[in-house]
Structure 1
């Protein structure tokens, strides 16, 4: 049984309490979007798990979004599809229903990463793409020297890359994703050249470390 909070947030992440300004900080960066698009290839029917406000949902594809938090679903732009209220560990879809699946900045919020990835593999006949943080790199971020609590908490929450790759099985490739100095997306490590923005409480709600992309194919 997956623990869900009052607004539907799964496990220990209470988006209902602090997620109401999420969309204002999380604006897609075209360079990160390009990496995701490359990993998805020519897939047309794509599942987005832990979709949040949908910043990387390309309108050129047919996206089915899954998001358990009411606060996050309420902030999705009108141009995007309404997200399904469900959790990753129990997806309400048929086997092999989608061409591809992705989860971006979300796997560390799941109650059971292995179960969630098994479900994504079950409902997908093509690649499964995971954009996550390399937890070993979080402690290398300069913020760790000044305010270690936030990055240390995130380092403990993110599954190791070995664990994710083992759960994905099949043929899994791992590649680093550079974070541009002028990145338009608003997770905390994007502010390494603009540290004054870390004074904004809304910005500090999205701490992620060095990005990596895992792509599993059957």
Structure 2
């Protein structure tokens, strides 16, 4: 598989100068640093309830898989895709935990180590995701992977909300007044939008969606069967 990817049979590298590559890496660093600060601010209990949904989404995997997918796909080479995604995530973690340490006076070392390892490992799927932006069957299979994971996480959020709602059904008025149902609905809409954007921006040709969607359904079903 790795030899096949290296053979340029799926997608060829985009030839650009070192300056353009450096700018793209710098953009990833600035973008990640900015989102890290924003994510931590939205994670604060002081944020109004109307905006707390953004903090909730930022605390899950889906949004970061979505952004990392687009960063990888729109890189010049697979190696640069891996580098940019790693720099993006490390910059995000740096600003997020710098905020946590300096302003909140907390030092969650285990979480920092864990997420740094995740950022390092993300270089592998980022390298592979670069090949999704091509007119090839393997590209369609690769594109289906982040879609399936995002859909699965959205489904888990839906199930947890529904289970909570059914468990406390006798307090329906309280739940509605607290906006729990609409909170879940807004989350599902945002997850659906992420999937739609991937389908619009990642495939080289729109006809590939005819393959991507069935592949996504298969992987999604497998995740549901194995994990839930």
* TM-score, length basis structure 1: 0.32
Relative contact order, CA 8 A, sep 6+: which one is greater? 2
Structure in which a larger fraction of residues adopt helix: 2
